[in-house]
């Protein structure tokens, strides 16, 4: 009886996840048929004309996530080095609790702070580049950086802590300074875990919805003329998630192609976050010696 129940509930979970994947593949078929590769590679989203190309949104997602990583990873690694290598155990636990609280702050609250504070700071701070508004890819990136910072800190701290203290002691016994033992002994050995923290944070950044929606500007069909132009970060944009959570999702249902284009975005997002998450999880496993 117990065994049967376990199996039934587990299979229910597996079937639901299978159904989810199947639906996102199957329901996006119409748009793939309609657009072909252009769906992935073109800059056009005019749903009244039934033209769907998601490149600007993929670009938006990648750019805001990249900005978030560039800002959050160095700070996160630095903070993790401090908690893991400099703090005594009790204080370290206290700091970790606080950092995890920061991780729990809902996206909608970050979004609110973004709308009422960060948006103006970005607009004023970058005035000489003449942004059209404070709703920019950069604003979303900065907000995301704060949101993923705790993920980076917590996972990196765990990775650093997993290096045996005998290694540190041996290095100090040779006359190396604490910084040298950290930089040359601990960090190199924790590199897989540190890498995993980046990948898992990336997965989280790409999937974050509410906060990005509120500050990214939600402008369709925006691609920079020059991919490496930093000024383009001060334009409004659209990410995959900000499109998915917009009211277009309500409108699209019932129109097979338009709905396919929406669900297809979900599928692309699933592939991107899934790749980052699974790769990150694989990284945390010890390689077989």
Shortest reach from residue 287's CB to another protein, in Å: 12
Q: Which is nearer to another protein, 27 or 224 (CB)?
A: 27
Q: Which is nearer to another protein, 33 or 178 (CB)?
A: 178
Determine the Cα angle at 224 with ends 219 and 225, to 5°.
140
CB 68 within 8 A of CB 110: no
Spatial distance between the Cα atoms of 211 and 116, rounded to a whole number of angstroms: 12
Shortest reach from residue 229's CB to another protein, in Å: 28
Closest CA to 203 of 101, 280, 285: 280
Shortest reach from residue 37's CB to another protein, in Å: 23
Task: Look at the alpha carbons of 91, 96, 102, 106 in this order and tell me if their dihedral is positive or negative.
Answer: negative
Shortest reach from residue 25's CB to another protein, in Å: 12
Q: Which is nearer to another protein, 232 or 265 (CB)?
A: 265
Shortest reach from residue 105's CB to another protein, in Å: 7
Closest CA to 144 of 43, 222, 76: 76
Q: Which is nearer to another protein, 13 or 48 (CB)?
A: 13
Q: Which is nearer to another protein, 20 or 132 (CB)?
A: 20
Q: Which is nearer to another protein, 204 or 222 (CB)?
A: 204
Shortest reach from residue 214's CB to another protein, in Å: 6
Helices 2-26 and 256-284, axial angle in degrees (round to 10)? 130
CB 268 within 8 A of CB 58: yes
Shortest reach from residue 197's CB to another protein, in Å: 14
């Amino acid at each position: 009886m117990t065994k049967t129940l376990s199996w039934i509930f587990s299979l229910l979970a597996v079937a639901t996840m299978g159904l989810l994947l199947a639906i996102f593949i199957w329901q996006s078929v119409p748009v793939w048929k309609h657009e072909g590769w252009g769906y992935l590679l073109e800059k056009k989203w005019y749903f009244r004309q039934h033209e769907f190309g998601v490149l600007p949104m993929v670009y938006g997602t990648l750019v805001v996530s990249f900005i978030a990583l560039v800002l959050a990873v160095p700070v996160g690694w630095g903070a993790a080095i401090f908690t893991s290598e400099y703090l005594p155990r009790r204080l370290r636990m206290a700091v970790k609790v606080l950092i995890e609280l920061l991780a729990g702050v809902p996206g909608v609250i970050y979004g609110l702070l973004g709308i009422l504070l960060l948006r103006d700071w970005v607009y004023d701070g970058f005035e000489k580049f003449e942004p059209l508004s404070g709703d920019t890819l950069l604003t979303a990136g900065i907000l995301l950086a704060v949101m993923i910072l705790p993920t980076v800190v917590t996972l990196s701290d765990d990775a650093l802590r997993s290096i045996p203290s005998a290694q540190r002691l041996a290095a100090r016994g040779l006359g190396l300074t604490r910084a040298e033992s950290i930089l040359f002994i601990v960090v190199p050995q924790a590199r897989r875990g540190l890498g995993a923290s980046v990948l898992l944070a990336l997965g989280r950044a790409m999937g974050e919805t509410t906060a990005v929606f509120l500050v990214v500007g939600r402008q369709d069909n925006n691609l920079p003329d020059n991919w490496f132009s930093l000024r383009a970060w001060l334009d409004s944009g659209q990410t995959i998630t900000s499109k998915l959570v917009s009211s277009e999702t309500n409108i699209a249902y019932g129109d097979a192609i338009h709905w396919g284009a929406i669900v297809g975005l979900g599928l692309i997002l699933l592939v991107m976050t899934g790749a980052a998450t699974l790769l990150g999880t694989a990284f945390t496993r010890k390689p077989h010696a």
